[in-house]
Amino acid sequence: MKLVFATNNSNKLKEVQAMLSDIQLLKLTDINCTEDIPETSTTIAGNAIQKINYLTTNYKVDGFADDTGLEVEALNGEPGVYSARYAGEDKSTIANMNLLLEKLSVHNNKKARFITVIALNLNGEQHVFEGICEGKIIHQQRGNKGFGYDPIFIPNGFDKTFAEMTLEEKAQISHRGKAVRKLICFLNQLD
Ligand code: IMP
């Protein structure tokens, strides 16, 4: 069986492919999809669903798409679905973190969580998988691994930020790791 993973990130693709035995994953360029897929929903799940529905409608393929956001409790769930563009359309990681830290500086509650939603379209049915990682935001950036908000996020039960963890350590506990494992579990039990 072949499935499209709505990404051009070959690291993400490799990671997931390594966990699937009988399924061959294709990335967007493998199906000649080079345009920007619309992500205009106001929810994380909505964006994942919008992306995979776009591919199923326009390219007649089965596959899955993911979307991730960071929700900060004291900021009523911001930046949430707007995590990538929080400080502006140029998607600057530094500007995004600085804006978040500035807004959060007046609050004592530092609780936050990452959410990843994966939407799978397969044989005319849609399946949705969610992974959540609870933690807190710190004001001093720490670590140089990972990406995005990793240097200011410490998952519950740890004293390291995501940016101070190896890829393997992060994947064991991360939102994305959890959602991907649910997807893989589902795919591996298909006939
Ligand atoms: P995407 O849905 O994977 O494109 O993620 C949206 C935005 O959330 C990214 O631009 C990152 O800023 C942030 N983000 C997603 N996943 C992570 C993560 O694992 N750690 C830190 N930031 C992340």
191 CA → ligand 1 middle, Å: 33
Task: Please name the residue whose Cα sits nearest to atom 22 of ligand 1.
Answer: 148
**Atom of ligand 1 at shortest range from CA of 175:** 19
144-184 confidence digits (pLDDT tens): 998 999 999 999 999 999 999 998 899 899 999 999 999 99
Q: How large is the average pLDDT for residues 11-28? A: 85
Question: Per-residue DSSP letters for 68-128?
Answer: EEEEEGGGTT-EETTSTTTT-TT--HHHHHHHHHHHHTT-S--EEEEEEEEEEEETTEEEE
| φ/ψ bin of 13: left (φ > 0), alpha (ψ from -120 to 50), beta (otherwise) | alpha
69 CA → ligand 1 middle, Å: 6
Task: Please name the residue whose Cα sits nearest to atom 23 of ligand 1.
Answer: 148
- Catalytic residue check, 67: yes
Residue 191 — very low, low, confident or very high, per pLDDT cuts 50/70/90?
A: low
Q: How far is CA 30 from the centre of its chain?
A: 21
74 CB under 6 A from ligand 1? no
Q: What are phi and psi of 124, to 5 degrees?
A: 80, 5
pLDDT value of position 186 = 94
With the most atoms of ligand 1 within 8 angstroms of its CB, the residue from 117, 149, 165 to mutate is 149
80-100 confidence digits (pLDDT tens): 999 999 999 998 999 999 999
71 CB under 6 A from ligand 1? no
161 CB under 6 A from ligand 1? no
End-to-end CA distance of the chain: 11
What's the Cα-to-Cα distance from 87 to each of 84, 90, 103, 110, rounded to whole Å? 8, 8, 12, 19
pLDDT value of position 92 = 93
**Atom of ligand 1 at shortest range from CA of 91:** 10
Return mean pLDDT, the chain.
94
Task: Please name the residue whose Cα sits nearest to atom 20 of ligand 1.
Answer: 150
